[in-house]
Amino acid sequence: MKYDLSYFEEQLKKYRITLTEKQKEQFITYYEMLVEKNKVMNLTAITEFDEVLEKHFLDSVSLIQVCDLKQNLSVIDLGTGAGFPGIPLKIIFPELQITLVDSLNKRIGFLKEVIEALELVGIEAVHCRAEEFAHKKEYREAFDLCVSRAVANLSTLSEYCLPFVKVGGNFISYKSGECDEEVAASKKAVSILGGEIKDIYKFTLGDSGRAFVTIQKTKRTPKSYPRKAGTPSKMPIS
């Protein structure tokens, strides 16, 4: 099947990104694997090629607006699901060292297949709950950057994500454009967890309002966080 990548390429040029032939093939293979696997397990409600390009691939890569990704950063993508934003970021910025984390083993199995098919190196997919993973010595406060497109309020997400970030590093949350109240409500939690809200960057993608909330890690996260499984979502710090 012939796929038209012209819109995707046009949008990427706004970020001064030009795809190589290999990268184009990687995105197409990823798309085909995604829709095929989606027939037997729930990975995404969005399956039309143009929509996947915009709402998954382009949305993932739009992080370039708020973060210099053309360097050797260690990145953890928490609650990666079908691999967003981690795999599109890895395709375009191969120098990134990426760890994909998800609590569902079936999704991690799919991501390992994608990594192999796309011949990606410097990327791993790990099955674990964030509440347990963040207490592992080799991963705690080990990353320059944590990213997440996971659907959870920012207080909860910060408890999952900030423990992974080095002091001086950042946690950047992908949010809808309507996130001001949520950000304001998370300030106490962010501070307790060792972070400081630095920026809310709003932009439009297609007809959707999107935002990046950048939280800088300014001090170490207390050892008691994240709390045990389920607690951060049931009882967010407030």
Domain of 174: which CATH number? Answer: 3.40.50.150
Query: What per-residue confidence (pLDDT) applies to 205?
Result: 94
Query: What per-residue confidence (pLDDT) applies to 147?
Result: 98
Mean pLDDT of 80-109: 97
> What confidence category does residue 186 fall into, taking pLDDT thresholds of 50, 70 and 90?
very high
Which tens digit of pLDDT belongs to each residue from 194-221? 999 999 999 999 999 999 999 999 999 9
Note if the pTM is more than 0.85. Answer: yes
Residues 6+ apart with CB under 8 A from 12: 18, 19, 58, 61, 92
How many domains, in total, are found in the chain? 1
Range of the domain at 82: 6-234
Share of the chain above pLDDT 70, in %: 100
3-state secondary structure of 38: helix
**Does residue 209 lie in a domain region?**
yes
User: Nearest Cα to 187, choosing from 200, 178, 176?
Assistant: 200
Q: For the chain, what is the mean pLDDT?
A: 96
Mean pLDDT of 213-231: 96
DSSP 67: S
User: Nearest Cα to 174, choosing from 10, 87, 55, 68?
Assistant: 55
Mean pLDDT of 84-91: 98
**Does residue 140 lie in a domain region?**
yes
Mean pLDDT of 96-121: 97
**Does residue 39 lie in a domain region?**
yes
**Does residue 1 lie in a domain region?**
no
Query: What per-residue confidence (pLDDT) applies to 1?
Result: 75
- The Cα–Cα gap between 183 and 181 comes to 5
Share of the chain above pLDDT 90, in %: 94
DSSP 18: -
Query: What per-residue confidence (pLDDT) applies to 232?
Result: 92
Which tens digit of pLDDT belongs to each residue from 129-179? 999 999 999 999 999 999 999 888 999 999 999 999 999 999 999 999 999
Indicate if the pLDDT at residue 35 is higher than 90: yes
Mean pLDDT of 8-21: 96
